[in-house]
Every structure is written in C-alpha cells, then in structure tokens.
C-alpha cells in the first residue's frame, strides 16, 4: 500500500510517498518551511502544496508535534497555540480532499522503529525517544503503542526534562557531549524508575551523532540508536494511515 507520509516540525515539513509494506520511500523527500505563524489554516495550505507537488491521489499520514486524539490536537509543541482544540484530520481532509490520519510525531517515529528499525521484533517495554528541538517519546508494551505519552515534559529539577535533555538545550547552552550526556542520563534514570524499560531507542536529530554520546550513558536497560533517522516520522505516519485504512 502506498501512502504519502508527512512529518510536521516547528521549522520544516518533510514528506515522501512510502511503500507502507516495506517502509521504503518511493521518491526523494520534499521539504517546505513550516509557515510562521504556524496556524492550522497556514499549515493546511502547506500540506496541500505537498500533495500538489507529488500529484498525490491516495491517503495521507501526518505526524504532528502535539497530543492527538481522534484527529484533534490537545497541545501544541513548537507550533501555533491555535492548534489546541483544532480537528487537524478534518482540516487536512478539507484542504487536500484526501483521506488523512494524524498522530503524535514521536508516536509516528516509534511505530517506524518498532516495525522496520531498531525495535523490530522486540518485546517487553520499549521506550523510543527523539532528541531534537524538544524530547519526544513513544512507549510500547509487547509491541503495542501507548499513545501520547509526552515524557519529555516530566519535571526534573523544577523544569521540563526537555529543557535540560534536548539537543536544542545542548546547542544553546554550549554543553560538551559529556556535559549533555550527564543530563540525559539523569532523565533516563527517571524513566527507568517509572517504567523499568527493557530497551531505549534513541532517535531524533541528535541520533546521527550517537557515537559521540551513547558510550557516556549509564542505564540498566539496553540502549541503542534509532535506525530510521530522519525518515522515521514520515514512515511511521504512513504506517499509521495504512493501519487505520485497513481497520475501517
């Protein structure tokens, strides 16, 4: 099944057609800048531009930086607050005239990793973390997703964990990899206390540099780098759309 995967971020929207049976991209990724302000209507127009670029006539899967329940956004991380309460699926269906499935961006990345990446075939409790502008999370129990966990917002030392452990924090504070890894370790230890995971999968923008910091982390659970890298959100969004279409 072919699905157009779309991954909405705070600064850019990445997209590509995906073979949802293999996880392979069927064309080069196409990127447009996230509109500023990133209101629902403006983002909807950007998604329509993507659909027109690929001359796409099939279903869409859209990964989005928010808690998403039944197509409705209940938060807005790095996008305009006008998204809160908006029915994103309905909006994108209206803009594109295509079937649309929307889900949390970290959940999409996690689905891709569990299906075709580092979590393939893994049972037990698996936590997929995306370290980038913020910290996204996807929690799986024996391969089943617990959606919208938003574990990047756990409080550590009086602040959201992502204020200390995100890749953006590392860059803005000028921390060395060792200094940053110490803060990531503290975050991972909190997750271990709460969930006793069997496996951590580290993804997001920072994952391309995993050799610089993963050896500095000390966790009881096994910890591995993500395999899908920057394609994870696109592929996971397509897989979520495929699953919804087949269950309808």
- pLDDT band of residue 166 (cuts 50, 70, 90) is very high
pLDDT at residue number 229: 85
Domain ranges in the chain are 2-105, 118-227
- Structure tokens that stand for 107 in this block: 């959940």
pLDDT at residue number 149: 97
Q: Is the pLDDT of residue 233 over 90?
A: yes
Which tens digits make up the pLDDT trace of 90-133? 999 999 999 999 999 999 999 999 999 999 999 999 999 999 88
CATH classification for the domain delimited by 118-227, as one of 3.40.190.170, 3.40.1710.10, 3.30.420.40, 3.40.50.970: 3.30.420.40
pLDDT at residue number 161: 96
User: In sequence order, what are the residues at sequence separation of 6 or more whose Cβ sits closer than 8 angstroms to the Cβ of residue 145?
Assistant: 107, 110, 111, 114, 138, 139
Which tens digits make up the pLDDT trace of 173-217? 999 999 999 999 999 999 999 999 999 999 988 988 999 999 999
Cβ pair 23, 239 in contact under 8 A: yes
Which tens digits make up the pLDDT trace of 10-49? 889 999 999 999 999 999 999 999 999 999 999 999 999 9
Per-residue b or e along 30-58, where b marks 16 or more CB atoms closer than 10 Å to that residue's CB: beeebbeebbbeebbebbbebbeeeebee
As a whole number of angstroms, the distance between CA 87 and CA 57 comes to 22
Q: Model-level pTM?
A: 0.95
- pLDDT band of residue 78 (cuts 50, 70, 90) is confident
Residue with tokens 């099939």, as numbered in its chain: 58
As a whole number of angstroms, the distance between CA 122 and CA 227 comes to 14
- pLDDT band of residue 247 (cuts 50, 70, 90) is confident
pLDDT at residue number 189: 97
Q: Cα dist. 35→42, 93, 108, 180, 227 in Å? A: 6, 19, 22, 31, 29
Domain 118-227 in the same topology as domain 2-105: yes
Asked if CATH classification 3.30.420.40 holds for the domain at 2-105, the reply, yes or no, is: yes
């Amino acid at each position: 099944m072919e699905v157009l995967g779309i991954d909405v971020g705070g600064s850019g929207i990445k997209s590509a057609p995906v073979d949802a049976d293999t996880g392979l991209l069927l064309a080069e990724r196409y990127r447009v800048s996230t509109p500023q302000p990133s209101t629902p209507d403006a983002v909807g127009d950007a998604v329509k531009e993507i659909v027109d670029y690929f001359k796409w006539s099939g279903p869409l899967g859209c990964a989005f930086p928010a808690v998403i329940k039944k197509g409705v956004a209940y938060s807005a991380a790095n996008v305009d607050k006008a998204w809160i309460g908006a029915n994103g699926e309905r909006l994108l269906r209206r803009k594109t005239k295509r079937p649309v499935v929307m889900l949390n961006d970290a959940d999409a990345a996690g689905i891709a990793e569990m299906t075709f990446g580092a979590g393939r075939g893994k049972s037990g409790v698996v936590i997929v973390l995306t370290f980038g502008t913020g910290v996204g999370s996807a929690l799986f129990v024996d391969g089943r997703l617990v959606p919208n966990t938003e574990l990047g917002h756990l409080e550590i030392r009086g602040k959201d964990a992502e204020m200390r452990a995100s890749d953006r924090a590392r860059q803005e504070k000028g921390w060395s990899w060792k200094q940053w890894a110490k803060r990531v370790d503290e975050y991972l230890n909190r997750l271990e206390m709460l969930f006793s995971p069997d496996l951590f999968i580290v993804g997001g923008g920072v994952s391309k540099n995993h050799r610089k910091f993963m050896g500095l982390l000390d966790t009881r659970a096994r910890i591995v780098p993500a395999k899908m890298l920057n394609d994870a959100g696109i592929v996971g969004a397509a897989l979520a759309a495929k699953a919804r279409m087949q269950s309808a």
